[in-house]
A and B are shown apart, each in its own frame.
Chain A
């Protein structure tokens, strides 16, 4: 059974930093690209970032480019999102999602999400 479990969401002050983690199990982790998607409470979905199966290619949405860094450790079946220079606009549930391929396609499994609140 595929499982994705996010952790690391907390309350952080504006300008602060945070690292989210996503522990994956139930599939061959290094066969697939992975994504982060976020959702402000009560609002729609926003794609945040994509990392290729081997970590060699990374991509970001415009709203986080230069502030967030996606990475993965295939030896630990883990995905990460380093978030710097946080603003109140970054307050959201953050989901990790497995891609259906090694590149970019549909998101066939999602974690339960972790809530990041940016507030003073």
Chain B
């Protein structure tokens, strides 16, 4: 199975800060990497697919990059409504696997 190592597991930042989350795959997954946002009590919501493609309607402050084994998810200017847990997910190989999640809080 492909292991997805996401870091940090949690972070606290101020409104307006740039926030970066990393995800490392245990083997090359090309760009078969997606990012989801999950707010408390809600289902996950797709933000970025295929490493860098922003889902229609998602604010442009969210972005993703990377390929191979190393990926980055960025919020360019953190907003109060971005409080959530973020997950990376690979689909190159079955089983589909998720990172452990990054809980983002406001300082």
Contacts and interface: CB of A to CB of B under 8 A. Distances in A.
A32 interface: no
A50 interface: yes
B49 interface: yes
A95 interface: yes
A108 B46 contact: yes
Nearest to A108: B46
B106 interface: no
Contact of B87 (A44, A50, A105): A44
Q: Is the interface of B mostly helix, strand, loop or mixed?
A: loop
Given A106-B50, A108-B55, A45 B44 contact: yes
A50 B96 contact: yes
Nearest to A112: B43
B59 interface: no
B94 A50 contact: yes
Nearest to B96: A47
Interface residues of B, number: 24
A61 interface: yes
Contacts of A113: 43
B62 to A, nearest CB: 15
Interface in B91-107: 91, 94-101
Nearest to B47: A106
B45 interface: yes
Contacts of B49: 100, 105-106, 108
Contact of A44 (B1, B91, B95, B101): B101
Interface of B: 1, 32, 34, 36, 38, 42-46, 49-50, 55, 87, 89, 91, 94-101
15 contacts: A44-B87, A45-B36, A45-B38, A45-B98, A47-B96, A62-B1, A95-B44, A100-B49, A105-B32, A105-B50, A106-B34, A106-B50, A107-B34, A107-B46, A111-B43
Interface of A: 35, 37, 44-47, 50, 59-62, 95, 100, 104-108, 110-113
